[in-house]
Amino acid sequence: MTQSVVVQVGQCGNQIGCCFWDLALREHAAVNQVPARSHEPPRLSARVVGDGGSISKGKICSLKARAVLIDMEEGVVNEILQGPLRDVFDTKQLITDISGSGNNWAVGHRVFGSLYQDQVLEKLRKSAEHCDCLQCFFIIHSMGGGTGSGLGTFLLKMLEDEFPEVYRFVTSIYPSGEDDVITSPYNSILAMKELNEHADCVLPIDNQSLFDIISKIDLMVNSGKLGTTVKPKSLVTSSSGALKTRHQKPFDAMNNIVANLLLNLTSSARFEGSLNMDLNEISMNLVPFPQLHYLVSSLTPLYTLTDVNIPPRRLDQMFSDAFSKDHQLLRADPKHSLYLACALMVRGNVQISDLRRNIERLKPSLQFVSWNQEGWKTSLCSIPPVGHSHSLLALANNTCVKPTFMELKERFMRLYKKKAHLHHYLQVEGMEESCFTEAVSSLSALIQEYNQLDATKNMPVQDLPRLSIAM
Amino acid sequence: MSIVTVQLGQCGNQIGFEVFDALLRDSQSSHGLCCKRENEAYQASCKERFFSEEENGVPVARAVLVDMEPKVINQTLSKAAQSGRWKYGQHACFCQKQGSGNNWAYGYSVHGPRHEESIMNLIRKEVEKCDSFSGFFIIMSMAGGTGSGIGAFVTQNLQDQYSNSLKMNQIIWPYGTGEVIVQNYNSILTLSHLYRSSDALLVHENDAVHKICAKLMNIKQISFSDINQVLAHQLGSVFQPTYSAESSFHYRRNPLGDLMEHLVPHPEFKMLSVRNVPHMSENSLAYSTFTWAGLLKHLRQMLISNAKMEEGIDWHVRPPSSGLPSLGKKSLNKDLHFNTSIANLVILRGKDVQSADVEGFKDPALYTSWLEPVNAFNVWKTQRAFSKYEKSAVLVSNSQFLVKPLDMIVGKAWNMFASKAYIHQYTKFGIEEEDFLDSFTSLEQVVASYCNL
């Protein structure tokens, strides 16, 4: 069994991380309540939650999260430590400071980077030592701020040097257009350069999409549409059984969705199924060229009906939903862009024939790149998420991320042309204008690669001449 | 003589379980349609081939289970133990913590050498348990990382260390519409390596077996275990004991050797496929009756027209009249209607088997010109019925069956290779572009050879 370590950086990263651990424990508890048949090994989500321990009566005893919590101001982490999840985190796994990064990537990256480099390294090494077989680091952060963005990406380089064989999966929250942090474009572009170079796989998510999803859920629940009620124990929308009882904070519901994403991503590696998919397979199948490692994710179900035994028609609906814009965690239009690769991770009582039927059905409406016409990676995990009978996570490597990046670049250029707020960055030691220009050119190069692929979009698929053999 | 099975990766282990289960269930069934003594001889022969005895009488499969992560092996071991009828050896498995990530290069260049000693030790122990050893049966898929990469590595090792023993690789051909995106790369690397080190490649295509489940078995929601059970049925009908000659009174002793001798006369032509009739759900079976004439007629047409199952056979395809060259032989651009064979083996099991007439298979028009039909075609017959089928026939064929699928996989891999997509994932672990080119070259050679039959 492999293990992963979650590194949560900054306010956003830690808040999402907190939701994630809450969900992970609930899933762990639910799965282990089912009496395991005697010969089966306990289905622990031991890969993300620490060794030993048990859950009795909902109280966690001695399970420790494999996590490192980093924030340059104390508020969020303190809240976590005073909350009901406090026993899950080892106090030795925390790194905090007081002053915060002031929404300044340079402060996060350079100042705190060098200040805390050794400490962070030590904590990471410690958590790696507790792992039997460490496979992956999950980094959760936002791109628009200072700590998550700057220090978070500083970590990437460190992880690459220190643990070259361990995968680095980054969940990045991209700022939406109406972001209240003025310098978020600067922070994001500077962070993008690091993501380009040091991450194995990035799952970009934007707040606007999450917000839209939550609004739709609220609408469905409140409109009382016939037969539409949210399932009582659904991990997505309900916090019943959650340990965090104070859940009316604005971002909680949104963070819950991202947490579900991470949980489903690792499900096939933790639980049994007829077609397993490990994390290293995600990178292998979905990253055809090293630079193009940005995956658009979509998750279903986000809200379900009360039927327990869902007949095939509804099952097919789940697949259709995964390819609709309503369920995407990034505002993008994959159906009208080019797919480089697509992965479908199914959980629950779904068989290979259901999967194949739906792929056949959806394929004609999607455009795949010429050299990967059947580029589907699939996995079947037998254990569904709590409160649902099945679920589907779709990860697409699609050129539709290009507009997101181009928009980001535009916002950056608007600020940069006027040199607005630049002095905050340049006064940090080691920062020069060249850092900015390099970051922009890195992003431009990435956009260019996507452009080249898009250019092949409507060309007829030609078979290349094959090797000819002299007989 | 005994066969040692090596199950590799998720696919290999899942299938391996179904195969042993099917073999034992059939041998212990009471529907043998023959006398008690006959049945007992059959059981004993089956047991000797695939199982060894343990103290408490529960048969232990002669198998080595290999996987790079523990979930599937644990499941397989427990399913076998649960059945109560047989089990796997306690120490017969090798597993690691982290899989091969669908990366052939990782399986072949990293996992293989790293764990070579442990895996070969396990295999050696299993071989030593055999009183007389017939050869290896290696079950693996082509699309993933462990089965394909480590499978290729282990087969190579077996060739070096057991050069006198036979190796047959059971290969699972993935669905055309991907299960794994890099499956075409993994497939061509596997096939080209196995062609050098294996003695015979027995191929099962997921697409074909899936259709059997859908059309013949009428299964609505087809799962991998349904597919694996159909596969196990086909393999069982090939590997269960049969008589050595028309009037002999004991079962064949060397199944692998006999198979290879009949079916692989030339090392350039190693790809074998299996077709069986009849195949249906148990419910339908109760209401069906069969004649040998009918079964064999279907089987022959399935061979000629390249059909994968007994439904939807194209009856218009005919063998070329002798003396005239067959149409569409030379190039693949024209549809290969007629399937030319190098060698065929028909195995018949069940009631009145002696009366079955296989003359249709001896037609020289079915075969290439370089083997006399008397050498190219063989039939094995057994009175003892197989798995509830009063009469069953299976055809193991070395023919042009697999040219089209092979050509497709090579084509798709070539297209992807031209764009260099995913290549960095392989070069990371030591498989360079030249290795890919070598693989392409050898497989184009195989395609061309089969096309020119």
pLDDT tens for each residue of B104-151: 999 999 999 999 999 999 999 999 999 889 999 999 999 999 999 999
- What residues contact residue B183 under an 8 Å CB cut-off, 6+ apart? B142, B143, B144, B174
Distances (CA, A) of B248 to B1, B32, B241: 17, 19, 13
Q: What is the pLDDT of residues A127-143, one digit of tens each?
A: 899 888 899 999 999 99
How far is the alpha carbon of B381 from chain A, nearest alpha carbon, in Å?
Answer: 36
Q: Which of A284, A345, A382 to mutate to test the interface with B (most CBs of B within 10 A)?
A: A284
Is B83 in the A-facing interface, judged by CB distances under 8 Å?
A: no
pLDDT over 60 at A248, yes or no = no
Any idea what the Cα angle at residue A176 is, between residues A172 and A179, rounded to 5°?
Answer: 110
More confident residue, A388 or A351: A351
How far is the alpha carbon of B26 from chain A, nearest alpha carbon, in Å?
Answer: 25
Q: Which residues of B touch A164 (CB under 8 A)?
A: none
Domain A404-456 carries which CATH code? 1.10.287
Any idea what the Cα angle at residue A35 is, between residues A34 and A39, rounded to 5°?
Answer: 125
Query: How are beta strands A296-300 and A367-368 bridged, if at all?
Result: unpaired
For residues A451 and A201, give the distance between their C-alpha atoms in angstroms, rounded to a whole number.
20
- What residues contact residue A287 under an 8 Å CB cut-off, 6+ apart? A200, A201, A293, A397, B422, B425
What pLDDT shows up at residue A251?
Answer: 79
Q: Which residues of A touch B207 (CB under 8 A)?
A: none
Is B44 in the A-facing interface, judged by CB distances under 8 Å?
A: no
Q: Where are the alpha helices (DSSP H) in A199-305?
A: 207-223, 252-270, 279-286
Q: How many CA atoms lie within 13 A of B48 on its CB side?
A: 16
Q: Which of A200, A379, A382, A467 to mutate to test the interface with B (most CBs of B within 10 A)?
A: A467
Spacing of C-alpha B179 from chain mean position: 20
Confidence of residue A47 (pLDDT cuts 50, 70, 90): very low
Distances (CA, A) of B437 to B201, B410, B434, B448: 22, 11, 5, 16
Smallest CA–CA distance from B440 into chain A, residue: A467
How far is the alpha carbon of B314 from chain A, nearest alpha carbon, in Å?
Answer: 25
Q: Which residues of B touch A281 (CB under 8 A)?
A: 99, 101-102, 145, 180
Is B214 in the A-facing interface, judged by CB distances under 8 Å?
A: yes
How far is the alpha carbon of A369 from chain B, nearest alpha carbon, in Å?
Answer: 10
CB within 8 Å of chain A, chain B residues 371-390: none
Looking at the DSSP assignment, which residues form a beta bridge with residue A4? Answer: A136
Distances (CA, A) of B206 to A137, B323, B392: 35, 37, 22
Contact (Cβ atoms closer than 8 angstroms) between residue A210 and residue A173: no
Q: How many CA atoms lie within 13 A of B403 on its CB side?
A: 27
Q: What is the pLDDT of residues B213-241, one digit of tens each?
A: 999 888 888 999 999 999 999 999 999 98
Cβ separation B97–A2 shorter than 8 A: yes
More confident residue, A56 or A351: A351
Cβ separation B227–A133 shorter than 8 A: no
Q: Smallest Cβ distance to A272: which of B75, B175, B214?
A: B75
Is B103 in the A-facing interface, judged by CB distances under 8 Å?
A: yes
> What CATH homologous superfamily does A3-49+61-224+252-403 map to?
Tubulin/FtsZ, GTPase domain (3.40.50.1440)
Average the pLDDT over A177-186 and give the result.
86
Cβ separation B101–A280 shorter than 8 A: yes
Q: Smallest Cβ distance to A135: which of B98, B440, B444?
A: B98
Q: What is the DSSP string of A433-471?
A: HHHHHHHHHHHHHHHHHHHHHHHTTTSPP-PPPPP----
Q: Smallest Cβ distance to B178: which of A276, A374, A463?
A: A374
Q: Which of B14, B103, B173, B180 to mutate to test the interface with A (most CBs of A within 10 A)?
A: B180
SS3 B381: strand
pLDDT over 50 at A239, yes or no = no
The two structure tokens encoding residue B433: 């572009």
What pLDDT shows up at residue A62?
Answer: 59
What pLDDT shows up at residue A307?
Answer: 36
Mean pLDDT taken over chain A: 83
pLDDT over 50 at A359, yes or no = yes
**End-to-end CA distance of chain A, in Å?**
50
For residues A235 and A256, give the distance between their C-alpha atoms in angstroms, rounded to a whole number.
8
Average the pLDDT over A285-308 and give the result.
80
For residues A100 and A116, give the distance between their C-alpha atoms in angstroms, rounded to a whole number.
13
More confident residue, B134 or A228: B134
What pLDDT shows up at residue B249?
Answer: 65
CATH 1.10.287 location in chain A: 404-456
Domains of chain B: 2-274 (3.40.50.1440), 277-321+336-399 (3.30.1330.20), 404-452 (no CATH)
Cβ separation B419–A371 shorter than 8 A: yes
Cβ separation B78–A283 shorter than 8 A: no
Cβ separation B444–A371 shorter than 8 A: no
How far is the alpha carbon of B352 from chain A, nearest alpha carbon, in Å?
Answer: 38
Q: Which residues of chain B have pLDDT under 50?
A: 323-324, 326, 328-335
Greatest mean pLDDT range, A88-102, A288-302, B45-59: A288-302
Q: Which residues of B touch A464 (CB under 8 A)?
A: 414-415, 418
What pLDDT shows up at residue A243?
Answer: 44
Q: How many CA atoms lie within 13 A of B11 on its CB side?
A: 27
Q: Which residues of B touch A200 (CB under 8 A)?
A: none
How far is the alpha carbon of B103 from chain A, nearest alpha carbon, in Å?
Answer: 7
CATH 3.40.50.1440 location in chain A: 3-49+61-224+252-403
Average the pLDDT over A4-31 and give the result.
89
Cβ separation B14–A286 shorter than 8 A: no
For residues A370 and A453, give the distance between their C-alpha atoms in angstroms, rounded to a whole number.
10
How far is the alpha carbon of A156 from chain B, nearest alpha carbon, in Å?
Answer: 20
What pLDDT shows up at residue B34?
Answer: 80
Is B451 in the A-facing interface, judged by CB distances under 8 Å?
A: no
What pLDDT shows up at residue A9?
Answer: 94
How far is the alpha carbon of A289 from chain B, nearest alpha carbon, in Å?
Answer: 6
The two structure tokens encoding residue B232: 């196990």
The two structure tokens encoding residue A395: 């990860």
Confidence of residue A250 (pLDDT cuts 50, 70, 90): low
For residues B446 and A302, give the distance between their C-alpha atoms in angstroms, rounded to a whole number.
50
Cβ separation B448–A471 shorter than 8 A: yes
Query: How are beta strands B200-205 and B271-277 bridged, if at all?
Result: parallel
- What residues contact residue A76 under an 8 Å CB cut-off, 6+ apart? A11, A14, A15
Number of cross-chain residue pairs from A and B with Cβ atoms under 8 Å apart: 145
Q: Which of B75, B95, B141, B181 to mutate to test the interface with A (most CBs of A within 10 A)?
A: B181
What pLDDT shows up at residue A93?
Answer: 86
Q: Smallest Cβ distance to B176: which of A341, A352, A374?
A: A374
Q: What is the DSSP string of B15-37?
A: HHHHHHHHHHHHHT-S---S-HH
Burial level of A27, CB count in 10 A (0-12/13-18/19+)?
buried
For residues A127 and A95, give the distance between their C-alpha atoms in angstroms, rounded to a whole number.
14
Confidence of residue A228 (pLDDT cuts 50, 70, 90): very low
Is B125 in the A-facing interface, judged by CB distances under 8 Å?
A: no
What pLDDT shows up at residue A249?
Answer: 59
Is B130 in the A-facing interface, judged by CB distances under 8 Å?
A: no
pLDDT over 70 at A237, yes or no = no
How far is the alpha carbon of B81 from chain A, nearest alpha carbon, in Å?
Answer: 9
The two structure tokens encoding residue B285: 């079976």
Smallest CA–CA distance from B178 into chain A, residue: A376
> Looking at this predicted complex, what is its ipTM?
0.86
Average the pLDDT over A255-277 and give the result.
88
Q: Which residues of B touch A364 (CB under 8 A)?
A: none
Contact (Cβ atoms closer than 8 angstroms) between residue A303 and residue A403: no
Q: Which of B79, B98, B173 to mutate to test the interface with A (most CBs of A within 10 A)?
A: B98
Q: What is the pLDDT of residues B281-331, one digit of tens each?
A: 878 887 788 889 989 999 999 998 888 888 888 888 887 765 445 454 444
Q: Smallest Cβ distance to A351: which of B82, B102, B223?
A: B223
Match 């089209």 to its residue by tokens: B404
Smallest CA–CA distance from B225 into chain A, residue: A274
Q: CA nearest A341: which of A384, A392, A306, A289?
A: A289
What pLDDT shows up at residue A44?
Answer: 36
pLDDT over 80 at A71, yes or no = yes
Cβ separation A284–B419 shorter than 8 A: no
What pLDDT shows up at residue A60?
Answer: 44
Cβ separation B422–A288 shorter than 8 A: yes
